[in-house]
Amino acid sequence: MRKINLVILFSGNGSNMQNIIQSFHNKEFVQDSKKNVITNITSCVSNNPDAYGVFRCRELGIKCEILPHKDFKNREEFDKALLGLVQRYSPDLVILAGFMRILTPVFTSQIKCINIHPSLLPQHKGANAIKDTYDSDDEQGGVSVHWVNDVLDGGEIILQDSIPKISGESFESFEKRIHSLEYSLYPQAILQVLNLTSVIKNG
């Protein structure tokens, strides 16, 4: 049975990464409505040695590679090393899950990768999207999954979903609802990108 190899890049807490691992590692799906395939998380990679997600990988039994970006003189040199590392795992798809680096064409021209962003792109790009949405006059917040290119949060959108803003709601409550939407939407987008349906078996 054909295996679909997935690599996850992360920089921090790793909650989205853990959700993806639990949704896709050693799982059997139907692809293109006809053939069974197994999805595997072959490795996770972090640019931050101190990321809590490293501990999550260890607890989940998933290999985790550490590639500190501070060891490189510029983004291109880091991306060249990252490309070589990731290509060793022959990924069908690379999934960014809180990976706090803007990738250059050195990487994006060679690797098919997607990212999740906690706003309704193109609104509120950047690292503070949830707070920016909360502080805005927008009537709703949301989550976007998009293809990755060398423009910050600028790739073609794959899926989006929204939640209404609630008058008087605390930022912490709003943030929690956004994260819950992320955990729901990202697996849906991965299934769509890989043309997968009908989980057959949990490994």
Q: Any idea which fold 2-202 has?
A: Rossmann fold (3.40.50)
Exposed, middle or buried: residue 2 (CB in 10 Å: 0-12, 13-18, 19+)? exposed
pLDDT at 203 over 60: no
Residues 100 and 46: their CA atoms lie apart, in Å, by 10
Percentage helix, strand, coil, to 5, in the chain?
35, 30, 35
Q: Would you state the pLDDT for residue 151?
A: 86
Query: Which letter does DSSP use for residue 69 in this model?
Result: G
Residue 117, number of CB atoms within 10 A of its CB: 24
Over the chain, what is the mean pLDDT? 95
From the CB of residue 76, how many other CB atoms can be counted at a distance below 10 Å? 13
- Are the C-beta atoms of 183 and 16 separated by less than 8 Å? yes
Q: Could you tell me whether strands 113-117 and 140-147 are parallel, antiparallel, or unpaired per DSSP bridges?
A: antiparallel
pLDDT at 201: 58
Percent of the chain scored above 90 by pLDDT?
Answer: 91
- Does the pTM surpass 0.85? The reply is yes
Q: pLDDT per residue over 15-38, tens digit each?
A: 999 999 999 999 999 998 788 999
Phi/psi at 28 (5° precision): -105, 130
Verify whether residue 146 is a known catalytic residue: no
Kindly tell me if the per-residue pLDDT of 198 is higher than 70: no
pLDDT in tens, 2-13: 999 999 999 999
Out of 25, 69, 117, 124, pick the active-site residue: 117
